[in-house]
């Protein structure tokens, strides 16, 4: 078996009496989409925050490509190659689409004070090709606030791409997208997995079962099952806890 790119080991996090994550372990192998599903309040957001560095877990480690990320903050994890997208778009709305993408292309090196950044051919090339990859090449000069909701989600993915990440961490990229948008995003993610594996948190079950190579199910802060979509469909625990018994095979 190939070495996993992202390894989460034994992550636990409690808020007072509430246990949000309990001994969660999962890994992300090269070339795969690994979906994380679970009912609301199962602890998905906490787990994402622990992986991305937004909060410090009580226990557990996170490794990316063999490197221990555990003590690092969000910015350092991004530089180490963790490309993430947000559930609610976090974009510089007053800037152009190309400027947003260029920001990612900086690769965390922001302390250059004199050279005009938008005339840097190297950066522009990285930014443009990421935009082309998600289908936004025609909108480079558009003000980000003027993009449609679906286009903003695509831009999120494009910015993550400019980081040339080793792994993607995507928080509900389909949220709020219509049928057409979901179809486009599904196609995009499908093609993206060869670039870097994707840890995908998503509520849209059709998309999850169509895209994912493996699925982990998080219930009450614990992973109750990990397996291929077919295995997860058949798993009695999952059916009881999450899919509901009445969901016929």
Partner 1 sequence: MRRETLLNAAILAGFLALPLWAWMADEPFIITLTTRAAILALAGVGLNLALGLGGLVSLGHAAFFGIGGYAMGVLAFHAQTYTPLTEAPFLIEGTKSMPVIWLVALITSALAALVIGALSLRTSGVYFIMITLAFGQMFYFFMISWPAYGGEDGMSIYLRNGFPGLNTLDPIQFYALCFVLLAGALWLVSRIQHSAFGLALAAARQSPMRVTSVGIRPRSLHLLAFTLSGAITGLAGALFADLNRFVSPTMFSWQTSGEIMVFVILGGVGRLLGPVLGAAIFIAMEHWLDGVSDYWHIYLGAILLGMVLFARGGLIGLIAGREVAHD
Indicate whether 137 belongs to the interface with partner 1 (CB under 8 A).
no
Binding to partner 1, residues 65-84 (CB under 8 A) = 73-76, 78-79, 84
Indicate whether 121 belongs to the interface with partner 1 (CB under 8 A).
no
Q: CA-to-CA distance for 34 and 28, rounded, in angstroms?
A: 6
**Minimum distance of partner 1 from residue 54's CB (angstroms):** 9
Rounded to an integer, what is the distance from CA 165 to the centroid of its chain? Answer: 11
Q: CA-to-CA distance for 13 and 106, rounded, in angstroms?
A: 33
- The 169-208 site mask, x for binding partner 1 (CB under 8 A), equals ----------------------------------------
Q: CA-to-CA distance for 19 and 214, rounded, in angstroms?
A: 25
Indicate whether 132 belongs to the interface with partner 1 (CB under 8 A).
no
Q: CA-to-CA distance for 99 and 73, rounded, in angstroms?
A: 24
> Cα angle vertex 226, ends 13, 175, to 5°?
70
Contact call for residues 149 and 91 (beta carbons, < 8 A): no
What is the three-class DSSP state of 83?
Answer: strand
Binding to partner 1, residues 142-171 (CB under 8 A) = 143-144, 159-160, 162-163
**Minimum distance of partner 1 from residue 198's CB (angstroms):** 15
Contacts with partner 1, residue ranges (CB under 8 A): 52, 73-76, 78-79, 84, 86, 90-96, 98-100, 102-104, 106-118, 120, 140-141, 143-144, 159-160, 162-163
């Amino acid at each position: 078996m190939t070495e996993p790119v992202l390894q989460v080991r034994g992550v636990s996090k409690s808020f007072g009496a509430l246990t949000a994550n309990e001994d969660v372990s999962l890994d992300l192998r090269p070339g795969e989409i690994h979906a994380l599903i679970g009912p609301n309040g199962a602890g998905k957001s906490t787990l994402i925050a622990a992986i991305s560095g937004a909060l410090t877990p009580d226990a557990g480690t996170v490794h990316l490509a063999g490197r221990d990320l555990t003590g690092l903050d969000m910015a350092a994890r991004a530089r180490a190659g963790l490309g993430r997208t947000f559930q609610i778009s976090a974009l510089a709305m007053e800037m152009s689409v190309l400027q947003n993408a260029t920001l990612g292309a900086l690769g965390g090196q922001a302390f250059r004070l004199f050279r005009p950044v938008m005339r840097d051919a190297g950066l522009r090339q990285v930014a443009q090709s990421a935009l082309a990859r998600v289908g936004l090449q025609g909108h480079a000069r558009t003000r980000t606030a003027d993009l449609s909701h679906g286009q903003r989600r695509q831009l999120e993915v494009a910015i993550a791409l400019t980081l040339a990440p080793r792994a993607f961490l995507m928080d509900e990229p389909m949220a709020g997208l219509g049928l057409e948008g979901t179809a486009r995003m599904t196609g995009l993610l499908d093609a993206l997995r060869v670039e870097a594996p994707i840890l995908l948190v998503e509520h849209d079950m059709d998309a999850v079962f169509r895209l994912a190579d493996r699925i982990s199910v998080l219930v009450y802060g614990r992973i109750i099952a990990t397996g291929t979509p077919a295995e997860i469909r058949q798993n009695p625990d999952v059916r009881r806890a999450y899919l509901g018994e009445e969901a016929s095979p």
